[in-house]
Amino acid sequence: MKQPMFQTIYPYLRTNKKFPNVWCPGCGNGIVLGSLIRAIDRVGLSKDETAMISGIGCSGRLPVYVDFNTLHTTHGRALGFATGLKMARPEMKVIVIMGDGDALGIGGNHFIHAARRNIGLTVIIVNNLIYGMTGGQYSPATPTDSFATTAPYGHIEQTFDIARLAEAAGAPFVARSTVFHVFELEKLMEKALTKKGFAVVEAISNCHTCYGRQNGMSTPVSMLKWMRENSVPISAKDSKGEGKITRGILVDRDLPEYTELYDQVIERARAAGAEGLR
């Protein structure tokens, strides 16, 4: 029999952490965290071997509530911290959680380089289309023509397509879903957790407080409906996908992982002896 959701989640929450959380009621961050925990539970990772690292933003507060090795870093730099930890402890499962501004704006350079190296990190990007924590300024993922506190006349910039960016940079696994399609989201996270290398899941999430209110969707429900109506599974991309967000596994390929390659460097260096190669 299927267990009720909360029974799965409860053992992963920190009982010594002072709840309630910092998020607005109805924020998509909670759905993302719930999905991630259920995915971790299904993969069967132990708490001790799992690290969760985040940057700064509303989404950056995800790790503190859960009972893993958790690290809340500086804005945009989570991937740098994660790279160091993964190299020091390759046996650990290192999960990185970033907002769209965190991952693609201030941290964009780190994102493409971590993908290019294909270092073994599971990367969850909570794309709420806006800078949530600072009050609704536009981010690199804010849709063209929508409104933000710094785009009062409509946004004139193109958005980053996270999946295509990650793919071009060299990520072996890229998937996307939304907090409306919660079971799909959780399955994609499970896949990402078992993938070797830099595995990216973009979770489109609702910030009704900052994005929604400025764009005619001031409730969580209106934003979830928007996600339902404006996205299609990748299988329907060609028939119904015109102008819509595609969901599912967008990239899945096998590429050599960085820490494994570095083990070869160690072997080569040792074989070269005291004087080294040069």
Ligand X SMILES: Cc1ncc(C[n+]2csc(CCOP(=O)(O)OP(=O)(O)O)c2C)c(N)n1
Return residues touching ligand SF4 (CB under 6 A): 23-24, 27, 29, 58, 128, 132-133, 207-210
**Structural contact between residues 54 and 73, judged by C-beta atoms closer than 8 angstroms:** yes
Residue 149 interacts with ligand X (CB under 6 A): yes or no: no
- The correct pick among 24, 43, 45, 87 for binding another protein (CB under 8 A) is 87
Residue 23 binds which of ligand SF4, another protein, ligand X, none (CB < 5-8 A, kind-dependent): ligand SF4
Residue 67 binds which of another protein, ligand X, ligand SF4, none (CB < 5-8 A, kind-dependent): another protein
Residue 184 interacts with another protein (CB under 8 A): yes or no: no
3-class SS of residue 200: strand
Residue 59 interacts with ligand X (CB under 6 A): yes or no: yes
Residue 51 binds which of ligand X, ligand SF4, another protein, none (CB < 5-8 A, kind-dependent): another protein
Residue 147 interacts with ligand X (CB under 6 A): yes or no: no
Residues 80, 89, 271, 118: what is their CA dihedral angle, to the nearest 10 degrees?
Answer: -50
- The correct pick among 38, 110, 181, 247 for binding another protein (CB under 8 A) is 110
**Structural contact between residues 95 and 124, judged by C-beta atoms closer than 8 angstroms:** yes
From residue 198, give the alpha-carbon distance in Å to each of 83, 112, 122, 134, 172.
Answer: 11, 11, 6, 29, 6
Q: How far is the CB of 209 from another protein (least distance, A)?
A: 20
> b/e per residue, 6-17, with b = 16+ CB within 10 A?
eebbeebeeeee
d(Cα 34, Cα 54) in Å, to the nearest integer?
16
Q: How far is the CB of 14 from ligand SF4 (least distance, A)?
A: 19
Residues 18, 22, 27, 30: what is their CA dihedral angle, to the nearest 10 degrees?
Answer: -30
Residue 124 interacts with ligand X (CB under 6 A): yes or no: no
Q: Compare residues 205 and 259 and give the one whose CB is closer to ligand SF4.
A: 205
For residue 68, give the amino acid letter. Answer: F
Residue 131 interacts with ligand X (CB under 6 A): yes or no: yes
From residue 34, give the alpha-carbon distance in Å to each of 38, 50, 161.
Answer: 6, 16, 25
Which one, of 21, 27, 22, 23, lies nearest residue 208 by Cα?
27
Question: Residues 214-253: x/- map of binding to another protein (CB under 8 A)?
Answer: ----------------------------------------
Binding residues for ligand X, rule: CB under 6 A, are: 56-59, 75, 99-102, 126, 128, 130-134, 139, 207
